[in-house]
Amino acid sequence: MLDIGPLHRSEYEMDTSERVVIAEAPGRLIFLGEHGENKAGFFLSAAINRTIQVAVSQRKDNSIRFFAAGLGERKRTTLVNLKYKREDRWANYIKLAIYIFAKLGRPAKGLNFTVIGDIPQQAELASSTAIEVASTVALKSFFKVSLTDKELLCLLVKAESEFFGKEEVSSVDYLVALNAKKDQLLLVDEKNEEVARIKSPFNRYKMLLMDSRVPRAGVDEELKQRRKDIQAGLELLEKKRPGSSFRDYVPADLLESMGDLREEIRRRSLHIVEENQRIREVADALKKGDMEEIGRIIYHSHESLRDLYEVSCPEIDWLVKRAQEIEGVAASRMTGRGFGGCTYTILKENAQEEFCKRLEDYERIFGFHPLVYDIRPATGARVIAKG
C-alpha cells in the first residue's frame, strides 16, 4: 500500500510544518454467526490484515475536500452541505465521521482528507465500516476529543442511523474494529455489546479467503424473506416465553413449539438456534486449540447455511467440499450474505498447492475466475501518525 502521508501533503500542497493525523482501521472476517437474530446474535469474528488508512489536516477556508488515492478520485463539500449523496460513494463514509464531530461542536473550519486501502472490494469484509472508523479515530485525535471506545461505538451507531437514514444498524462491525487485537479471535455478543478475545490457534495454519466471483442478482429480496421467516419463528416461540430471543432456546424447543408453521420457518429458526449453540461450543474448542473440533463445528455451520438457512449455491458448496477433501485443510465455510460471495479455508501451508489446483478445476467447471487472499487476524483501529 502507498505511503499516505506524502500523498496527502502533495495533494493539498502542504509544507512539513502543517499537522496531519493518520489513522487506520481493519477489515473483518466472520467465521460463524452472520445470519443470526437481529441485534441479539452471537458471532465469531476477527479483524484482518487488510486496512483502510485516512489522513486529515486543517484547511484555511470552509471547504471539505476528499481524495481517494487508490482511485484517483476527488470529492468536495462544506459543513453547511454535509449530507449523504449517492454519487459521493466512498466519501459518504468520511462524511459520517465529520457529522459525528460536527454534532460535538467541531470542526469550525474546513478539512482535507485522503483515504487509501487494500481491503478487497465487494467481498463483504466491512470496508465501508473501516473507512468510517478510521476517519472517526483520526478526527478524535485531530480534535483531541476525549472519548472512550464505548462512547465512540454509540456515536458511530447513532450516526449511521441518522446520516444514512437506516432503521436498523448493527454494532458488530464497529465492535470488531474497535476491539480487535493481533492474533486474536473475537466472540461478539451483539445484544449486550460485549466482546471476548481468544488467542487464535491458527498460527501454524494459513487462512485463505476465496472470492467465488459468482454474480448475485436478487440477493436482497431473498435475504429479506429469510429475515421475515426468522421473525415469524421467533413470534411463535415468544407466545410461550414473552420477551425471549433465539439465544434462550435449544433445538428441542423448536420441535415442541413450531406446530403447523411452514417448514421453511422451522428450518430458518433451527439454523439460528443451532448456530448460537455452535458458537458457544467453538469457544471451548478454541481455548483448547482443538483443531479437529473447530473444523467439525465450522463444517456443520456451512451445512446448516446450505440446508436450513439456504443461502449457499452450487459453486460455493463445490469449493467447500473440495477443500474438505484435501489433507491438511482444517476447515472451510462460506462467509457473508451468501448466494455466491466468499469462502474461507484454514489449512496447513503444505496443502496450499493442492488447494490452488482445485481452484483451477473450479474455473474450468463453472467459468468464474476466483480471487484468493492470504489473511490473518490483526489489530483494530488506531492512530499511526500525529505529525
What sign results for the dihedral spanned by CA atoms 9, 12, 16, 17? negative
d(CA 211, CA 206): 16
Specify the DSSP class assigned to residue 35: T
111-117 and 42-58 beta bridge pairing: antiparallel
Residues 295 and 259: beta-carbon distance below 8 Å: no
The Cα 131–Cα 312 span in angstroms is 29
Rg from Cα positions in the chain: 22
Q: How far is CA 216 from CA 33, 170, 227, 263, 370, in A?
A: 21, 23, 18, 25, 15
Q: Give me the active site residues, please.
A: 173
What string of H, E and C letters represents the secondary structure of 184-249?
EEEEEECCCCEEEEEECCCCCCEEEEEECCCCCCCHHHHHHHHHHHHHHHHHHHHCCCCCCCHHHC
Coil, strand or helix: which one is 317?
helix
Count Cβ atoms within 10 A of the Cβ of residue 229 and give its class: 0-12 exposed, 13-18 middle, 19 or more buried.
buried
* Residue tagged 413449539 (cell numbers): 257
> Residue 40 in contact with residue 245, Cβ under 8 Å?
yes
